[in-house]
């Protein structure tokens, strides 16, 4: 079996995964067991990569070939990079059987030694990716694992989508994860087969956060502290663990009613988005964070004359959520107000 990526030991992935994820894991597992494909989606830190790795580990044994790529924002501008990650170790197995034009275009794209581009070799490249997947599948089932699909370079996404839509009954499955802030995963389905099942990872309940903290060794936390961790993290397991770690490393525990310490790792995540705001918009959010139920009227009363434009800017960045039927402004995540 050809495996690109370490999926050989599912036991290492499973302990944290099964806490709070039993139902969706079983759902995704059933889809894969039936020959379908899965797209995991949800916000940063919600556990998509953990679930993806565990599912890949569990399903790798049934595949003849496992192809993997994990995209990053800093490399998303590099054309064909994801395709090179997927096919880099297996192309030699099948390239000889590709038509000459397809082989030349694909090898040029993957090695960067030619001038191949979607504009110049569009059809040849599309057919080459489809032919390569079909050739690999002729040897046995293929599992394509792609993490952080939102950072996939556009050329690779286009080529994979073209092939995925034309595989039909060919035994090629895709297991993907994409970061989304809401239900905005539809456009990423274009890179997946038509039968792909979308699975949303939502926030943990308070009891699930408590179980996760206990499992990681952050025991002895009072019920009120766990409640505060759950509220501040918004049920995000990564954020909850970081808050638990910060409490464990702190020489003193916050008194009832005091805010939890926000660790540097989480503050950096939030500040990176806050840094995209204008200075005035950030000041407006700081004023809003001081109110229990901030509204535009209250912001105007506090001297924020451009509150409409500044809160609209924050909403466009996903920092605030608004409801036409409710004048109250709400932070998209409790950590945003905590980091201001």
Residue 178 DSSP class: E
| Confidence (pLDDT) at 280 | 93
User: Which pLDDT score is estimated for 29?
Assistant: 94
Query: For residue 144, what are the contacts with CB-CB under 8 A and spacing of at least 6?
Result: 67, 68, 86, 133, 160, 172, 173, 174, 175, 176
As a whole number of angstroms, the distance between CA 326 and CA 168 comes to 47
In this structure, what are the phi and psi dihedrals at residue 46, rounded to the nearest 5 degrees? -80, -10
Which runs of consecutive H residues, i.e. helices, occur in the chain? 14-17, 22-33, 48-60, 81-87, 91-94, 100-111, 118-139, 154-164, 206-215, 223-233, 237-249, 264-274, 279-289, 296-301, 307-316, 334-339
Distance of CA 239 to the CA centre of its chain: 15
Would you call 79 helix, strand, or coil by DSSP? coil
pLDDT given at position 255: 75
Residues 141/62, Cβ–Cβ less than 8 Å:
yes
| pLDDT at residue 289, as a whole number | 86
* Angle formed at CA 223 by CA 217 and CA 228, multiple of 5 degrees: 90
Q: Are 121 and 128 in contact (CB under 8 A)?
A: no
Q: Are strands 326-331 and 320-323 parallel, antiparallel or unpaired?
A: antiparallel
- Considering the domain 2-200 in this protein, what is its CATH number? 3.40.50.300
CA distance 36 to 256: 49
CA 48/CA 176 separation, integer angstroms: 9
Per-residue pLDDT for the chain (340 aa), expressed as one digit of tens each? 444 443 333 333 444 456 788 899 999 999 999 999 999 999 888 989 889 988 998 888 888 899 999 888 888 999 999 999 999 889 999 999 999 999 999 998 888 776 666 667 789 999 999 999 999 999 999 999 999 999 999 999 999 999 999 999 999 999 999 998 755 677 788 889 998 999 999 999 999 999 999 988 888 888 999 999 998 888 999 889 888 888 887 777 777 777 787 777 677 767 777 888 999 999 999 999 887 778 999 899 999 999 999 999 988 877 887 766 678 888 876 667 777 7
Estimate the crossing angle of helix 264-274 against helix 237-249, to 10 degrees: 130
The per-residue pLDDT for 115 is: 64
Position 18 scores a pLDDT of 60
Q: How many Cα atoms within 13 Å fall on the side-chain side of residue 208?
A: 19
């Amino acid at each position: 079996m050809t495996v690109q990526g370490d999926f050989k030991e599912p036991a290492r992935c499973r302990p944290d995964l099964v806490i709070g994820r039993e139902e969706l894991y079983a759902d995704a597992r059933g889809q894969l067991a039936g020959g379908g494909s899965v797209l995991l989606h949800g916000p940063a830190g919600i556990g998509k990569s953990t679930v993806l790795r565990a599912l890949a580990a569990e399903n790798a044994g049934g595949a003849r070939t496992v192809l993997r790529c994990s995209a990053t924002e800093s490399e998303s501008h590099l054309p064909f990079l994801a395709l090179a990650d997927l096919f880099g170790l297996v192309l030699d197995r099948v390239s000889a059987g590709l038509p000459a034009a397809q082989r030349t275009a694909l090898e040029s794209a993957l090695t960067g030694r030619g001038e191949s581009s979607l504009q110049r070799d569009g059809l040849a490249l599309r057919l080459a990716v489809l032919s390569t997947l079909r050739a690999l599948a002729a040897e046995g089932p293929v599992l394509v694992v792609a993490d952080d699909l939102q950072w996939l370079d556009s050329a690779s996404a286009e080529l994979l989508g073209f092939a995925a839509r034309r595989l039909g009954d060919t035994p090629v499955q895709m297991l993907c994860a994409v970061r989304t802030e809401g239900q905005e995963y539809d456009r990423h389905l274009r890179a997946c087969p038509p039968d792909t099942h979308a699975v949303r990872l939502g926030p943990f309940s308070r009891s699930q956060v408590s179980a996760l903290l206990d499992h990681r060794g952050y025991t002895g936390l009072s019920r009120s502290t766990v409640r505060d961790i759950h509220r501040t993290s918004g049920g995000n397991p990564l954020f909850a663990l970081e808050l638990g770690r910060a409490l464990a490393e702190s020489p003193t525990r916050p008194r009832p009613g005091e805010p939890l310490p926000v660790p540097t790792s989480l503050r950096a995540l939030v500040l990176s988005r806050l840094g995209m705001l204008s200075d005035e918009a950030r000041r407006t959010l700081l004023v809003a964070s001081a109110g229990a139920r901030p509204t535009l009227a209250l912001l105007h009363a506090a001297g924020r004359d451009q509150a409409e434009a500044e809160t609209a800017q924050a909403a466009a960045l996903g920092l605030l959520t608004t409801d036409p039927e409710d004048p109250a402004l709400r932070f998209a995540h409790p950590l945003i107000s905590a980091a201001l």
